[in-house]
Copies of this chain bind each other. A is one copy, B any other.
Amino acid sequence: MHCNFLLCFCSSSACICPLPHGVETSFSRLLCHILSATSSLDLCVFSFSNMDLSRAVLLLHKKAVTIRVLSDKDYSAITGSQIGILRKAGICVRCDVDSAYMHHKFAVVDGRLLITGSLNWTLTAVQSNLENILITEEAELVQPFIKEFHRLWVLNDPARFYKNLISDDEH
């Protein structure tokens, strides 16, 4: 795979950005795909504690890419979770409260590119586990993930909970 963006953005040894530099790896290719976002990044991930991936998301946020993050309620609160840091930076985050686990690990870049697989966005997943990530622009595969993201995003809108609370108070 040809990785123009990451090489262009980070290949200089003088580069002060906080992302890994130099050799192309599976991880640098993943970062490259994430950082290729120009308009939106929809991220639906069970566990998010990897600081390099967090920095990539924060960089996109600074570049005015619209970011939406859906995560699992329990795992968003564990030690090392980046979810709070993303929230503090002003990124819109929603947590699933209904299911046993919100176990997805996928992202959709610019409503076009699907990144999905077994990999949680953690350091152990990236450095130690055997994992897979599948990246595709095939609409037949991408569209169901976009649709599912939208469904979960609406379902976990905090306004719905407040509305229910007010409604409960009224009765």
Contacts and interface: CB of A to CB of B under 8 A. Distances in A.
B129 A106 contact: no
A103 B131 CA distance: 6
B129 A102 contact: yes
Given A100-B124, A124-B100, A138-B138, A132 B106 contact: yes
A128 interface: yes
- The copy count of this chain in the complex is 2
Interface string A122-150: 00110011111010101001000100100
Interface residues of A, number: 28
A141 B134 contact: yes
Contacts of A82: none
A98 to B, nearest CB: 9
A116 interface: yes
A118 interface: yes
A94 interface: no
Contacts of A7: none
Interface of A: 46, 96, 99-106, 116-119, 124-125, 128-132, 134, 136, 138, 141, 145, 148, 152
